[in-house]
Structure 1
Amino acid sequence: MACRKIREPVVAKFGRQCQQLTEEMACSSCHPLMGTWQIRNVCPRLCDDWYAACKDEYYSYGGAGTLAPCYGNALVCSPLSSIADSGADFCTHMGFHVGSDADVEGTECFDGSVPEQLGETEPVEPWEEVLKRLFDEQVENPSGVFIAAIFGSVAALFMGYRFVRQLGDPFGADQLSLEEVRRLQQQRYERGEHVFDDETDSSSDDGGDDFPPQSPVGETNVDSESSTQATS
């Protein structure tokens, strides 16, 4: 709204002095005392200066009952001097409260000057409180970005946990202790001995089937001598 009030005299091609004072009055709410309502009135002298600079310019009534510069397609426009007869009347038509001549300028009424004390620096909110405030606001009225951030954080934590587990155990299983490794080696060693014994027994049994039983040495010699005598 203030920006519009500043641009209107420029578009209406008002005089330079009228433009400057209109801008000053439009920005009066930025004054630390006027903006906080410690000063509520405009000094009469400032209203007189404003009226003197703009009395020959054309104005019309706006929607809020205040005066506005005439430009564009305005239907009814009149010189300011025919609408207001004084600076106090002009400030009243523009929506300002006019003080008295007894008011101290700059302290009890707005005179357009820059205050000696510009105000205190706004305290910086700690980042912890900023995060807490933002979190509380999102909890009460969560947005899509907040919900996506929550799901993304949970997924990242889960994937990070899986990655750490695999990094610590490349084979995806729990690491065996030294005692368990020794016990498994002992079991494999014992199973290896049993297998060797079984193979030895089976090979002995198979060899007995291939070769017929042999007679004692004495019996073989007697049979040989008997066959020799019969031949002779």
Structure 2
Amino acid sequence: MSFVLTPPATTSVPVVGTKDRFPVHRIYCVGRNYEEHAKEMGFTGREPPFFFLKPADAIVAVEAGSIGAMPYPSLTQNLHHEIELVVAIGQGGKNIKAADAQQHIFGYAVGLDMTRRDLQGEMKKQGRPWCIGKAFDHSAPIGPITPATQAGDLANAEIHLQVNGQERQRSRISKLIWNIGETIEHLSAAWELQPGDLIYTGTPEGVAAVVAGDTLSGEVTGLEPLSIKIT
């Protein structure tokens, strides 16, 4: 087979404890999945989950012990950080029950859902899709993936983010409105999940702006930390 253009390289993420890499298929993100963040954004209650996507090549894969680099994006004056637990799907499926979700998970990582908040807000006001605020280049930094068997008790893990050494976000994974199993159940009812899919599970309260020169350091208990510098 020949192609009229050179096919793009496969986007991939390092895997803890191996030289192998996890190939990325799709990136799904869950909106407003912590109660306090939902309130922060003007919403309350346990509304049905909703999802948006980022392109696979929005990934900024950061090696263990390294500080990645994310260029400050164009068109925005209000770039926000959103620290998240990321679920890596190893076995695909459709209409997966929450009770069976664990067998579909390859592992977990720390991720950032970077957001051009001013552009997102303007699109919301106009009732238009807000892909421009979420699905831009380099908008999905992620640390190495820890296999599920090595990840420990994530249900009770802490999640937190520092910017230039100052804490911005802190919560616990147990405070997810829709837990990991429930999220996979809802998501797989709408799309057939595939090996290589990543799910950014939502961010806690404390989202705020960053500027060029800032260093972001995020952690989830039991996983490899993630550090990036905005350039």
TM-score band w.r.t. shorter chain: under 0.3
The TM-score normalised by the length of structure 2 is 0.19
| Structure possessing the higher radius of gyration over alpha carbons | 1
Using structure 1 for the length normalisation, give the TM-score.
0.19
The structure showing larger relative contact order (alpha-carbon pairs under 8 Å, at least 6 residues apart) is 2
More strand by share: 2
